[in-house]
A and B are shown apart, each in its own frame.
Chain A
């Protein structure tokens, strides 16, 4: 089974609608990263969360970290076609080894219909 599970795997929403993507770790989180990727391109850094209860926002995207549940959610408000892409969560589970290496979920493909 995956150490980092993302859901849903894919999502199609109408422009203007809100949506949420979830990321759940089976191991203790030392940092949770959200990235966006467009096909054939690199990963664009969105946000990093470290502390339980932490919440960060960037434009219309908000991410929260529930440390107890080892889970993070990414919420997009009033989605636009520019939000389309693949959203990846990455987790630092390196703990005492402290390498900072990330494991990644399988990604959520988002389509926004105009």
Chain B
């Protein structure tokens, strides 16, 4: 596709339920990032994928959060037993990043998660 896409665009869930958020990066982009944007915390890094592996998971806030990437393309962020503090906009970004330098990161439109 032309850009990074994410689904769903909005998700309302009850506290305690599990949710899955999907990210389709730009075709050919090897690097994929998940960020979270909330009112109190601004925009925070969650996890980084290079290909299918995740060398940096340092931003995941708890073990309720996990992510995977398959085929070097689509990624899914899963939040188990959602809590109200998980409410935020979850943004995905991708980059054609090689190993040695910074490259442009393009963001998707985000998934707005509301936990009631």
Which residue numbers of A lie inside 8 Å of B, CB to CB? 30-31, 33, 35, 40-45, 48, 50, 88, 90, 92, 97-107
Distance A33 CA – B35 CA, assembled complex (angstroms): 15
Residues of the A chain whose Cβ atoms lie less than 8 Å from the Cβ of B50: 99
Interface residues on B, range: 20 to 34
- The distance from the CB of B22 to the nearest CB of chain A, in whole angstroms, is 15
Residues of the B chain whose Cβ atoms lie less than 8 Å from the Cβ of A102: 33, 35, 45, 105
0 or 1 for each of B52-74: is its CB under 8 Å from A? (1 = yes): 00011001000000000000000
**Is B56 a contact partner of A97 (Cβ separation < 8 A)?**
yes
Residues of the A chain whose Cβ atoms lie less than 8 Å from the Cβ of B102: 30-31, 48, 50, 92, 100
Residues of the B chain whose Cβ atoms lie less than 8 Å from the Cβ of A35: 107
10 pairs of A and B residues whose beta carbons are closest in the complex: A31-B102, A42-B109, A104-B43, A43-B107, A99-B56, A101-B45, A92-B102, A42-B107, A99-B48, A100-B97
- The distance from the CB of A101 to the nearest CB of chain B, in whole angstroms, is 5
Distance A103 CA – B42 CA, assembled complex (angstroms): 10
